[in-house]
Structure 1
Amino acid sequence: MKDALTPEQWQALFETLPDPVLVTGEDLEILAANPAARSLLSDSAHQLTPGHPMLQAAQSGSTWEWRDAGGELRPFEVTTRPLPGGLRALLLRDTSDQARLREELAAQTLKDPLTGLLSLRGLIVALEPQVSRSRRYDSPLSAVALRLDGIAEEPALLAISRLLRDKLRWADLVARIEEDTFIAVLPETRLGDARRLIEKLHAELGVCCSELALRVQFGVVEWSRADSAQTLVRRATDAASPQAAAS
């Protein structure tokens, strides 16, 4: 297809592109920036030095994070394209929506992809019928949180998840709800029985975690009529927090 655009039309196209675009020389000196780039960089695009994080991201092909006026970090994918005369175009694409979509999809997943245990959402879905049953029949229900202190590598997380599966009953709900936090929900279990279970788990996990240079902090709570599935889980994790341990 024959190029029918005039230089003025190419310039107009450059100026109206919705994504930020910059043109640099071989030494990363900024030679031109479209309005979207000038708006993003507060009209300081021409003052950027080669050590600027955005230009470093362009060299490494990585993501550059920019904090907007509201304080929210927005990730930008930075790619480069060669231009005639040794110039380069820097193309910035806001990937905030993609990152947000990935987070939403992860939140909707019922299983933790690493351990195969329930995720937080999966735990809440499975726990709500248990809470309804406890409310209807006044049956006991307890929750135990295990929070790891230290760098938990993948083998450690897998070892702990296997131990919890092996030591808990088939009716108990076991979940990994955060990077370093596990929850076990124990139907038909009073607070005293849950604490005795913690003593047994502490001995087992003490051996496992000491070998992995980890410490484990427990929190245990019993369901009350004021609790929903969400508040029961939140109270258990709060009870396992460092602040609770220090008090």
Structure 2
Amino acid sequence: MVPFRKMHGLGNDFVVLDGRAATLPVTPARAAAVADRHFGIGCDQFIVMEPPAPGADVFMRILNPDGSEAGACGNATRCIAALVAEERGADRVVVRTIAGELPVERLPGGLWRADMGPARLGWQDVPLAREVDTLHLPLALGPVSDPAACSMGNPHATFFVDDLDAVPVTEIGPRLEHDPIFPQRANIGFAQVTAPDRMRLVIWERGAGLTLACGSGACAAIVNAVRRGLTQRRATVTMPGGDLIMEWRESDGHVLMTGPVATSFTGTLDLEALAA
């Protein structure tokens, strides 16, 4: 039996295992079994804490519900940082993922601010299947068109719409995720700017589907909104699960994300039994 912790950031939920002391028998199939909301525990991402490389406090491995590996997850980054900070009595933690190092600091009011690193704006960085302007992709489906794309360690496309409630996200999200222009698939965001410092956002996550919140998706949304001249560099992004305070810092191009973390419950699981 393996201990686990169920955590979430704005309803974006995770099953977290600690593999720092010993290697865990985690496979894509077992991660998918745990993530299943009917036959497993249920989560948007399956997270394994692993020993860090020099310069970091913990390595965070991220697996989607379909077993694929993700390079970034902003809400999970804050959750893992909060766990490690509590262990060490620290106010600052560096979380490493396959996409790089992410410094996270504790703020008053139970909030955590993660430096998600620089947005990558080149077509090869997203990546896209061919050379196109990442500010205006030649992509349209149903009521949406003309998204902007960037990478936050994972690929994102953001569609800006006038009425978010009118977008059939569950219908077009899967088709856009798998569009041939995205050779590694993509997270698809639908954003409605409501003020220079506010926007609403719904995300269809690559490998996970519709989620209550997506930290890296909020990062991509603020970056793409600023590139389009739609918002200020600091704005509140409201998702179905709640608000994140986002900032695309002008001095170095890093994206800062501020929000809460929470633990829902703890328990133990049998990875082999769930996979079977």
Question: Quick check: TM above 0.5?
Answer: no
Structure 1 or 2: larger helix share? Answer: 1
Q: Larger Rg: 1 or 2?
A: 1
- Larger % of strand: which? 2
TM value normalised by structure 2: 0.22
